[in-house]
Chains A and B, each alone.
Chain A
Amino acid sequence: MSKFLYYIVLVVLLTSCTIRLEENTRVLTQTRVVDNRGQPLSGVTVKVFGIQRTDNPFAQLGNGVTDINGAVSIPSFHQATGTTQLVYNAAASPRIAVTYFIDSRVYENNLSFDTGDVRLLTAASLTINFVNTTMTQVDVPYELTYEVPDCRQYINAQGAVDSARSFCYEPFTGSYRLTALSTTTTRTLTTLIDSQVLVNYVVNNVRFTEVITVTDLDTSYEINY
């Protein structure tokens, strides 16, 4: 009896390590990649992965590279349940990877899905140097508001964006404080190129605002207080 149970357990373990994709099926994912000005981006790699219980892909199911119009149609194998993950990546530039998590049931009707335009923006580094010119003020509260270089879209079974879970280059505001009695305090952040960073700080109960436009991949800016 125990031997019988052993074989039953063995069979269950072996079959649980197998993922069988949908038989006799290929789905088509159509997408178009643009930059922050809406211009098409060619040469962007788009990979299709399959995800089941966790967020870790179990296999790559398809891939493609955008053409001169920024478009690509990707045939891929299909899993009827779970999530289909699209990862956009332009390896040749510091553009940000964009990830789509698509409910696989969205492919049921036409065996195809069109994501529409996907914005693939460029990350930029901004270094802000806070320079204490008086050497007397040691407590300067400040806020930084900037666009976060991260984009994840969740598409539900009806093909609509699940706004409760999705985010894409959204603004983030962080509160900080300069307390050290040092000449220069440096803060580096990663944001989007051609975006603006808002700095609000208070010195002697007077509120100051500075707007920094990030135009280069590496930008430095100095704030004297």
Chain B
Amino acid sequence: MKLIINLLFFMSLGSFLMAQEDLPEKKPSTSVPKAFLDLTFISPNARGDNYINNGASLKDGFEIELGIFVYKKIFMGGSLGFAGMDVVRPELIGNATRATFNMSQLLAGYRLNITDEISLIADAGYGWIAFRNRFGALASRDVYARDSGTFVKFNTTIDYRVAREFAFTAGVSYQYNFMNIKTAAAQQSLFNNSQFVTLQVGVRFYMM
């Protein structure tokens, strides 16, 4: 439901932006862009037998991605993402109440034009993820614990250009996190990884 609300918001934003443009530029162009900037709402969902999927509930977040075309339709870039999670089964993963996490990534990908308006982007990346776990402190103290790791991520988005430099996007990504958490041997396999399947909608600004 939140995703739908976000989508409606961006659609109305897009309509507003289009209304500001001159009519001759309204028609989508097939010219090759130099770069693009994505602003995306992400809805990560945990998968697999690991501490996050077993004991936490991921919350929606936000991601910004920059891609620069380096050779024809091949681009390289980076992204920054932020999201959160609530701990729902502390007996499985420890008694943090909630966490926020951020992700930074270097990526490379390919853009495929399907029609004049529609294109498909696929990219893969390697990045760093850091969780800040917060606690319901019993005293007036700010208590937190940090978890970190690296990840590989495979991402596919489809965009629909409504103007020469503006498009709506929707996509899905798979992310495998290699967590650095050390624990007893009996539960190491639960804490050394996590996996996300992320649905995303957003807008893309092309730089021509």
Contact = CB atoms under 8 A, between A and B. Distances in A.
Interface of A: 17-28, 48-50, 56-65, 73-77, 110-112
29 contacts: A18-B142, A19-B143, A19-B144, A20-B145, A20-B146, A21-B143, A22-B145, A23-B147, A24-B180, A25-B145, A26-B93, A26-B181, A28-B186, A58-B138, A58-B141, A58-B143, A59-B95, A59-B137, A59-B138, A61-B95, A62-B91, A73-B186, A75-B93, A75-B94, A75-B187, A77-B96, A77-B133, A111-B184, A112-B186
B181 A60 contact: no
A39 B115 CA distance: 73
A25 B94 CA distance: 10
A62 B91 CA distance: 6
Interface of B: 90-96, 133, 135-148, 179-187, 191
Contacts of B185: 110
Contacts of A65: 91
A17 B143 CA distance: 9
A76 B95 contact: yes
A28 B182 CA distance: 11
Given A74-B91, A111-B182, A17 B142 contact: yes
Contact of A28 (B141, B180, B187): B187
Contacts of B142: 17-19
A136 B52 CA distance: 75
A-B CB proximity, top 4 nearest? A21-B145, A112-B184, A28-B184, A26-B183
Given A59-B143, A63-B91, A75-B92, 17 more contacts: A18-B141, A23-B146, A23-B147, A26-B181, A26-B182, A26-B187, A27-B184, A58-B139, A59-B136, A59-B137, A59-B141, A64-B91, A74-B91, A76-B95, A77-B96, A77-B135, A111-B182
Contacts of A21: 143-145
A48 B95 CA distance: 9
A62 B191 CA distance: 15
Contacts of B140: 17
Contacts of A17: 140-142
A26 B191 contact: yes
Contacts of B144: 18-21
A60 B184 CA distance: 20
B95 A25 contact: no
B152 to A, nearest CB: 19
A55 to B, nearest CB: 12
B47 to A, nearest CB: 20
A82 to B, nearest CB: 12
